Amino acid sequence: MAEDDTLDPTEFGEADAPPVAEKPYKIIFEANKCIGAGRCAEVSDNWSMDIETGLATPATYFFGEADLEHNVAAAEACPAKKDDGVIHVIDRETGEEIAPDPHGDGTVSVDW
């Protein structure tokens, strides 16, 4: 956790997380900013639309190399937040955002 009281997005979900060696990547999902466009579900098996809420939901938040590409595709396809996207793929070792990385420098582009 960060030393002050602000929530560090890279720490999100780490308390119950599988070991980094097994699942080196994770999703941070800004569900409250999902606009239900469904692009993520078209490009990634990890994403589906919840019929009740109309919002996207990931099957898993933690994954390995084999599932990186399609989750990155989902993050890049997401049109929410003026195309910046609300699906964030994070490298758990470095804490950097792999995708969509709108700043181009690995900083986590989560607004909360």
Residues near ligand SF4 (CB under 6 A): 34-40, 56, 77-78, 80, 86-87
The token pair at 72 is 């990155």
Output the smallest distance, CB 48 to ligand SF4, in A: 9
For the chain, the distance separating the N- and C-terminal CA atoms, rounded to the nearest angstrom, is 16
Q: Report the C-alpha gap between 78 and 38 in whole angstroms.
A: 8
Output the smallest distance, CB 4 to ligand SF4, in A: 29
Pick 28 or 87: Cβ nearer ligand SF4:
87
Pick 11 or 50: Cβ nearer ligand SF4:
50
Closest CA to 26 of 94, 105, 111: 94
